[in-house]
Structure 1
Amino acid sequence: MRYLFFICLVFCYITNINAQSQPWQGKFEPIDNMIAAPNSYRTASGAPGEAYWQQRADYKIKVVLDESQNTITGQETITYYNNSPDDLSYLWIQLEQNVNQKGNEDFGNFNNSLKDGMTTRQMQFLTRAIEFPAGYSISYIKDSHGKAMTSLVNNTMMKVVLDTPLKSGESLTFSIGWSYPITDRSLFFLSREGYEYFPGDDNTVYLIAHWFPRMAVYNDTEGWQNQQFQRLGEFALEFGDYEVDITVPEDHIVAATGTLKNPEVVLSKTQQNRMEKARSSFDKPVMIVTREEAETNEKTKSKTQKTWQFTAKNVRDFAFASSRKFIWDAQAVQLPTNTVMAMSFYPKEGLPVWQEESTKAIKNALEVYSEATFDYPYPVAISVNTSNVGMEFPMISFNGGRPKNGKMTQNAKAGMISTIVHEVGHNWFPMIVSSDERKWMWMDEGLNTFLHQRTIAERYPDFNSTTPQSIVPFMTGDKNILRPIMTTSDNELLTQFGANFYQKPTVGLQMLRHSIIGKELFDAAFKEYANRWKYKHPNPADLFRTLEDATATDLDWFFRGWFFTTDHVDMELTEVKWFKVYEVGQNIEHQKQNIQMKVEMDEPAATAADFSSGPEVIKMNTTPDQAYGGYLSRLDEDELRQQLSGKNIYEISLKNIGGLVMPVTIEWHYTDGSSEIDRLPADIWRKNEYEVKRTFIKTKEVKAVKLDPNFEFADTDMSNNSFPKVETASQFDRFKAKQSND
């Protein structure tokens, strides 16, 4: 016996030690151990701290686009400001064009299996059998005195070694000369930039992005940003001011980040007058370059050049597009604190849809996003037509969607408009609220898609939108390969990329706004986050903490389940019991007979499949005095019995099968044909995360009960959400059938 007792003590001790070393991670435990601790740089409220800092880089760039050779040649001067508390002995610079070099570490990653029946383009993606030049040639790196600086290139990153450490609070000016061959966008999978050739008129549209050596981010949470560019993960960049001179063939039209400083040099007098008219045209676009003028340009093929000069203040990047094919329209958009020029550039192949819809879509995005966050602060917002893909940069985006022979289906048109809204919306996330896209892609794609879908719902209600239903097929996927939202972009499977980084965060924010927090509180909190972190670098913890701080709501349970796990929502309505209270003074057998009760009071009732057997009877006994303890007052039992007299009491049993806790919405259908909804918070699962019971008092008799009737919480199996059980196809089955038909 003593031996057994000793063994029990040892077992309890070991269990206790394991519990201390491996804390229990319940669904309602704080996520403090899963996110970075607050400090003087980033506060526990989710706001930047009093000691918050970030680096800055200003650029002066001169670049020449050589159309005959399809090359870019440039010289840039960078002034880098070390606002960190650290002395820096070297700098890291991004060289994204090196990703296109053969032998790059991610070459062939997206299409890496051979199969019978491959297209020639798929085979080119995989093998690069047709070779082409790519990547930077660095001609010099010099300090402000003209002295050569030592550098080392590691794939898409370049280390510049400093002779003397750059001390905290100081700045450094240096220059780089470089060139690279512009790549044919059709030769790359997921190509966001390069050139598109039009053989019909022997012309080219150039989309020039991540084109100049750029400073990597150095911050308080990571030091130097150290993830290579592998196409899926995008960018982490510092803010700064830009002065950019772009030299192109004389008959080209250039669209770019920033303000055009020399319109009198690069635009005709007629074009300048049209632009002036557009500045006060708030109801429709004004044509700056017409189709007829663009088609004339297509035939000229000028051999002389001209230089377009742009400036941009407080942006984290710079991009431009150039072509003699461009048609150009512009319209003024009045926001509460700013007037913005919305402009579209497109070849004739984009007509008529681009002329009809592109600038209108920009305007819609500017208005909805500004209302939801802060007024768009920049002078222009530009949409440039491309053959496919959509890609965002400050003030300018390259957007897919092009008619065939001047026609588009309604679905294709909706996709084009949605792309424009989405890419313009990226000006807020991450171009201003500047999260690290390479590390936390969901922070820009998810937040932006959330507002993009809000824009579609408000301005294009006939278009399909992302809803909780949209994410169900993904959530029911194979848990062996599913990954949580909190996964870095380059580690996500391509087949899951859109669902996990775009749709799932969007649905999560929709749930918070519509069903968990409420629109008024959520909208104010989301706006608080955007304003706290505009022109700064937020991390996931800053978003999570701000949403809790600005709503006075504990959301750790939601963030833990939705962002850090691959659990799904599957709530089961296992049982509904119906009761009535025995009324004092009435013969209980007579009461049973009246309500057609056929159970013995002392025996547990069998599980009922519906309400046809009538209610069980509850006999309430008088509370004995000892149950009150030291209290001298007594419950008014007559009043209690009177309040319950004739009422229907329902006990609902719920199971959490999917693992993800959520609020519970219950729809009651009464025998008189009416219905009502009760809402229970997610807190009902705190004591038991797997099974709960709840009691409701109803005046009317219930005919049927349903969970999540409006499909607010992405429940993956609606067939177990009803009582009595519904034998027909579940709501989810009908949704899947509709998807396949669409």
Structure 2
Amino acid sequence: PMIVNSDERQWTWMDEGLNSFLQFLAEGAWEEDYPARRGEPRDIVDYMKSRNQTPIMTNSESVLQRGPNAYAKPATALNILRETVLGRELFDFAFKEYGRRWKFKRPTPADLFRTMEDASGTDLDWFWRGWFYTTDAVDVSVDGISEYTVSSQNPEIEKAWRRKLRDAEPASLTEQRNKGMPRRVEAHPELKDFYNEHDDFTVTNADRNKFTEQQDKLEDWEKALLSSGKHLYLVDFTNVGGLVTPLVLEIQLASGKKYIERIPAEVWRYSPKKITKLIVTDEPMVGLTQDPYWETADINVDNNAWPRKVNPSRLELFKTNRSQPDLMKDFNTPLKQTSAEKAAAETQKAAQ
């Protein structure tokens, strides 16, 4: 900041915001668990929720809430750019290049934006637009997940799978009430026929022959794909807050294994409000959390998980006085002495 001559009068954040960001980095380098005030995404959430704010790219004389706007939010944005969007190595190179190019000069915000993009080789228009030119917030909702598996086309497997799904369906109310009712075929077993032993899920020789013919037409890699047992999930996301952000997904599998999958913000390019992302796993997925480390400043973590999680909170209990006014009691209440009257009484008592 002493070498790059930022115009603080015009753009407060170019001086104070960048200083706050560098201070945040210095605090982390100073000691572990330093109580930093600005820079962590989770610490800017309350401000991002508020309505009484202006974009960072607001003239200094018109800024509302100068501390969060010019200090904390730019520092947080740059931290997210460093940790989540570009990565530390690429960001540090680009940021140093900004200092090198503009030392002893007077850069504008556009010079910072342009240098960071040029030096990193990354299109960051979406980032500058969202974080610096709007008051939008990050709020990504995991709306739903649909599960698919690749059909093996083997009738022995597929019909057994469909039977299992049918058996898992709840019994209808009529079936429940008819349970235990005497049946005609139980009293007269001779009435049973072929269809009492077989149904739509019975594998026939025609099914087996068709499968064999299909297999003969497939190449080895196609056969391997059909028998891979991959699990496919279509995950629906909604950008509730309006601020485009990368997706950071923690995926939990049935075995207990967890892993992180990072999806660039460009996934929102053609549909900035709603997207569906395909996730392929080797075993069933039992849980998914968006932004598990709170690194994107998401203002509502309640909608970040599937299945939904119960978030603990507290209820404050207050005891109220529900007694009715008592005129006689209030009238007969002794009148309290004033401070002057108490002093006079004590003086008189001492004189006696």
Q: Secondary structure at the match of 1:485?
A: coil
Aligned with 1:589 (options 142, 149, 159): 159
1:279-678 to 2 correspondence within 5 Å?
429=1, 431-465=2-36, 466-478=39-51, 481-493=52-64, 496-587=65-156, 588-594=158-164, 639-640=221-222, 642-643=224-225, 645-678=228-261
The Cα of 1:578 is off from its aligned counterpart by 1.3
CA gap of 1:451–1:597, structure 2 versus 1, over 3 A, is farther
Separation of aligned partners in 2, 1:584 and 1:654: 31
Between the two proteins, the alignment pairs up a number of residues equal to 264
CA gap 1:438/1:647 in 2 versus in 1, 3 angstroms: same
Q: Secondary structure, in 3 states, of the residue corresponding to 1:435?
A: coil
SS where residue 155 of structure 2 aligns? coil
Letter of the 2:272 counterpart: E
The 1:652–1:551 alpha-carbon spacing in structure 2 relative to 1, beyond 3 Å, is same
Query: Per the alignment, in what secondary structure is the counterpart of residue 550 of structure 1?
Result: helix
Offset of 1:532 from its aligned partner?
Answer: 0.7
- Within 2, Cα distance between the matches of 1:684 and 1:597? 39
Specify which structure has the higher proportion of helix.
Answer: 2
Contact 1:580–1:646 (CA under 8 A) maintained in structure 2: yes
Question: Aligned partners of 1:487 and 1:498: how far apart in 2?
Answer: 13
Cα distance, 1:595 vs. partner? 6.6
Identity of aligned residues (%): 41
One-letter amino acid of the structure 2 residue matched with residue 544 of structure 1: F
Structure 1 portions without partners, runs of 5+ = 1-428, 600-634, 735-742
Change (3 A) 1:558 1:670: same
Alignment TM-score, normalising by the size of structure 2? 0.71
Structure 2 unaligned segments of length 5 or more: list them.
Answer: 170-216, 315-352
1:519-556 deviation per Cα after TM superposition (whole angstroms, max 9, x unaligned): 11110000000011111100000000000000110000
Cα distance, 1:538–1:674 mapped onto 2, change above 3 Å: same
CA RMSD of aligned residues (A): 2.1
Tell me how far apart the structure 2 counterparts of residues 451 and 535 of structure 1 sit (CA, whole Å): 19
Q: Determine if contact 1:582/1:591 at 8 Å carries over to the other structure.
A: no
Write the deviation string for residues 706-726 of structure 1: whole angstroms up to 9, x where unpaired: 000011110000000000111
- Any idea what the Cα deviations from partners look like across 1:561-617, whole Å, max 9, x if unmatched? 100000000000000111112112234221234577858xxxxxxxxxxxxxxxxxx
Task: Provide the C-alpha distance between the structure 2 equivalents of 1:636 and 1:687, rounded to a whole number of angstroms.
Answer: 36
How far has the Cα of 1:669 moved from its partner?
A: 1.1
1:585 to 1:550, Cα distance in 2 relative to 1, 3 A: same
Q: Which amino acid aligns with 1:692?
A: I
Aligned residue in 2 for 1:83: none
Q: 1:637 Cα deviation (Å)?
A: 6.4
Give the aligned partner of residue 189 of structure 2: none
Q: TM-score, normalised by structure 1?
A: 0.34
2:283 aligned partner, one-letter code = K
Q: Point out 4+ residue stretches in structure 1 off by more than 6 angstroms.
A: none
**CA deviation vs aligned residue, 1:449-508 (integer Å, no higher than 9, x gap):** 111000101112232223000110000001xx3100001222122xx1111111111111
In the alignment, does 2:278 pair up with 1:695? yes
Deviation of 1:642 (Å): 2.0
Change (3 A) 1:484 1:461: same
Higher RCO by CA contacts (8 Å cutoff, separation 6 or greater): 2
* Cα separation, partners in 2 of 1:582 and 1:595, compared to 1, 3 Å: farther
